[in-house]
Chain A
Amino acid sequence: AQSVTQLGSHVSVSEGALVLLRCNYSSSVPPYLFWYVQYPNQGLQLLLKYTSAATLVKGINGFEAEFKKSETSFHLTKPSAHMSDAAEYFCAVSEGPNFGNEKLTFGTGTRLTIIP
């Protein structure tokens, strides 16, 4: 069964500082991994996705994530935080069509606060 763990329900960083949001997954097959962002009172938007191509994935708004199979991790980073990055971030995993099961599992989310 697939699962996702996001370490840290709240993360605060200063404007201009490195953003690091942690995600560890569990999957019995090579996973499909996603990061989504949710701004207040909105639905979720895709930031980036990993689908077994390059292990370093670049997304929108300067975010990127690195797939590390040995650590079962898919941490999200951004070199320099901006005030507009304040939002809730969700990591998600799917085992894809390999077993005919396209269930998608989300982590519990990390709320990112940017300190001016």
Chain B
Amino acid sequence: EAQVTQNPRYLITVTGKKLTVTCSQNMNHEYMSWYRQDPGLGLRQIYYSMNVEVTDKGDVPEGYKVSRKEKRNFPLILESPSPNQTSLYFCASSSRGSQPQHFGDGTRLSIL
């Protein structure tokens, strides 16, 4: 079954404690992306990757890092989380950015 898997699904943590949200896809997609969803703001792209070792900033990259060492994995790293990064995060993948995205089920992060 085609899947984008995010972990964890829920996380409550404290300011400054580094965390990583993992994302894995089994569709051999080249394009992967991270979004955050906030009420009234819709989805905003954080980072995207067009292939292994190729990443680029989206609309709201500040405070986040990503890496793409393998095609299937695209982790999102918060080196020093702050309360304004409390949000619902989605990972997505597709063959290209101009093609329909397959979304994960989301990760709800609360930074206290």
Segment at the interface with A among B37-45, B65-73, B75-83:
B37-45
Say yes or no: is B13 at the interface (Cβ < 8 Å to chain A): no
| Residues on B with beta carbons closer than 8 Å to the beta carbon of A44 | 43, 90, 92, 101, 103
Report the interface size class on chain A: 20 to 34
Which of chain A's residues 1-57 have a Cβ closer than 8 Å to chain B?
6, 9, 32, 34, 36, 42-46, 49, 51
Checking B42, B96, B104, B105 against A97 with a beta-carbon cut-off of 8 angstroms, the contacting residue is B96
User: Closest 3 A-B residue pairs measured CB to CB?
Assistant: A102-B97, A96-B98, A43-B103
Count the B residues whose beta carbon is within 8 Å of the partner chain — how many? 26
Bound together, the chains give a CA A6 to CA B106 distance in angstroms of 23
Q: Give chain A's interface residues, CB within 8 Å of chain B.
A: 6, 9, 32, 34, 36, 42-46, 49, 51, 90, 92, 94-97, 101-109
Report if A9-B40 is in contact (Cβ < 8 Å); known contacts: A103-B48, A105-B45, A105-B59: yes
Q: Is the CB of B100 within 8 A of A34?
A: yes
11 contacts across the A-B interface (CB closer than 8 A): A96-B98, A97-B98, A102-B50, A102-B98, A103-B45, A103-B58, A104-B33, A104-B45, A105-B59, A106-B44, A106-B45
